[in-house]
């Protein structure tokens, strides 16, 4: 947008003849900005893919990717996509550390990146889920958290990679959830009834009361609780030995 304004101003003041020469220079500048931003942000999608596949990415590597993506954002190119990538990488790094005052400030910074990305991608369920996570870490089940969770369900009800976090949050906060979100959570349970693997992972992350509630819901929709419980037990034993 800044390049376009510069070009139009130049056309008005210098005339078409001289401005033709400037067009090439400005387009070259824009191309250079895109190339620089693309080069700096190249590591982000690679790291995101590795994390989503469960591969090891060190905290130092994540910090380096963050630095590169922030540098890419300075070029003002593809800001929504870069802000979305930045918020994902930053959140994954911050969740590995202690919940200190400095960490809260960083969480707030990442939340700002998510808000920036949402301005261009308001229907992105992944961004709304990330907003939910950050808002919950900062302020618990606030009205902002509830609204973001509702939109995460609305725009990504069948996104498996968002399933686990949303269900854990709903089951932990069940007594405080609005009835509309309880209904959406029940719909998700029915939708995921045939996937005992994901329920095993969720059960392994829940305290006893939330765990019993989930087992009741799963039994009501005839889910394969036997396999889910086996997976839960395997995960808990593995954690105890590590």
Domains and CATH numbers, the chain: 37-156 (1.25.40.10), 158-242 (no CATH)
Distance CA 225, CA 215 (A): 7
Q: CB neighbours (10 Å) of residue 218? A: 22
Tokens 């902002």, residue located? 144
Answer yes or no: is pLDDT of 106 > 80.
yes
Summarize pLDDT for 118-172 with one digit per residue, the tens: 998 999 998 999 899 889 888 989 999 999 999 999 998 888 778 888 998 999 9
pLDDT score at 67 = 81
Are 237 and 230 spatial neighbours (Cβ–Cβ below 8 Å)? no
Are 188 and 166 spatial neighbours (Cβ–Cβ below 8 Å)? yes
Burial class for 242, CB neighbours closer than 10 Å (0-12, 13-18, 19+): exposed
Distance CA 137, CA 139 (A): 6
Summarize pLDDT for 49-94 with one digit per residue, the tens: 666 555 677 878 878 887 887 787 777 667 667 777 777 777 677 6
Q: What are phi and psi of 6, to 5 degrees?
A: -60, -45
Tokens 């069940």, residue located? 174
DSSP string, 99-156: --HHHHHHHHHHHHHHHHHHHH-TT-HHHHHHHHHHHHHHHSS-HHHHHHHHHHHHH-
Summarize pLDDT for 217-234 with one digit per residue, the tens: 999 999 999 999 999 999
pTM: 0.67
Answer yes or no: is pLDDT of 25 > 50.
no
């Amino acid at each position: 947008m800044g390049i376009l304004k510069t070009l139009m101003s130049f056309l008005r003041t210098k005339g078409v003849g001289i401005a033709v020469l400037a067009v090439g220079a400005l387009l070259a500048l824009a191309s250079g900005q895109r190339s620089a931003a693309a080069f700096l942000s190249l590591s982000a999608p690679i790291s995101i893919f590795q994390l989503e596949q469960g591969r090891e990415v060190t905290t130092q590597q994540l910090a380096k990717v963050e630095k590169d993506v922030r540098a890419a954002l300075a070029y003002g190119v593809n800001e929504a996509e870069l802000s979305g990538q930045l918020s994902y990488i930053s959140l994954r790094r911050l969740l590995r550390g202690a919940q200190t005052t400095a960490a809260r400030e960083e969480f707030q910074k990442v939340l700002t990146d998510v808000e920036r990305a949402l301005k261009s991608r308001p229907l992105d369920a992944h961004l709304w889920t990330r907003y939910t996570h950050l808002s919950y870490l900062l302020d618990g089940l606030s009205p902002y958290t509830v609204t973001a969770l509702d939109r995460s369900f609305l725009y990504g009800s069948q996104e498996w990679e968002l399933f686990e976090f949303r269900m854990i949050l709903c089951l932990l906060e069940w007594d405080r959830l609005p009835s509309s979100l309880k209904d959406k959570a029940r719909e998700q349970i029915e939708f995921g009834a045939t996937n005992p693997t994901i329920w095993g992972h969720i059960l392994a992350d829940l305290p006893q009361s939330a765990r019993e509630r989930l087992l009741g819901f799963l039994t009501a929709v005839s889910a394969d609780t036997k396999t889910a419980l086996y997976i839960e037990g395997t995960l808990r034993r593995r954690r105890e030995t590590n």
